[in-house]
Amino acid sequence: MLSKSRLLSFALFAISVPLFAHHSFQAEYDAGKPLTLTGTVTKLEWTNPHARFYIDVKDPSGKVTGWNFELASPNVLRRLGWNRDMMKPGDVIVVKGHQAKDGSTWANANSVTLPDGRTMNAGSSADEAAAPTSK
């Protein structure tokens, strides 16, 4: 049987793991790699700590590449006017954001233009990462 102190230690460890999994914009994305892509939504994940959506982007030759975009948390997105039904598989959207540092098809979204023409702020931390620091 576990002692109370061991049980408490285990519980504190278990709830702290997601905190270590979180990352800053600068750790994963490159402010020097802005991109604008038009694609078809394949999936939306409305989960913490960041919502994500996936789009298929067709290049001029017809080749389709899947992209994975990170958004803010669902709570922040709700405050920005989002809801989980705004993007559905099959919707064609335009995304502005920044590509992953490793050049993969992962990116952080700054804004999303929906099929109805609304442009939504994606709650990106890129603006904060690119802001000059005061001395």
Q: Do residues 14 and 22 touch, judged by C-beta distance below 8 A? A: no
- Please indicate, yes or no, if residue 99 is contained in any of the structural domains: yes
For 27, the token pair is 């750790």
| CA nearest to 127, candidates 113, 110, 112, 111 | 110
- Please indicate, yes or no, if residue 15 is contained in any of the structural domains: no
Q: Do residues 122 and 72 touch, judged by C-beta distance below 8 A? A: yes
Q: Quick one: pLDDT at residue 25? A: 58
Q: Is 61 helix (H, G, I), strand (E, B) or coil?
A: coil
Which CATH number characterizes residue 98's domain?
2.40.50.140
If the chain, 135 residues long, is cut into consecutive pieces of 10 residues, what is the mean pLDDT of each piece?
58 44 64 94 94 96 97 94 94 96 94 96 67 39
Check: pTM over 0.85? Answer yes or no. no
Q: Quick one: pLDDT at residue 28? A: 76
- Please indicate, yes or no, if residue 118 is contained in any of the structural domains: yes
Q: Quick one: pLDDT at residue 124? A: 78
Q: Quick one: pLDDT at residue 18? A: 45
Which residue segment(s) compose the domain that 113 sits in? 23-130
- Please indicate, yes or no, if residue 3 is contained in any of the structural domains: no
Q: Quick one: pLDDT at residue 68? A: 97
Q: Quick one: pLDDT at residue 20? A: 41
Q: What's the number of domains the chain is made of? A: 1
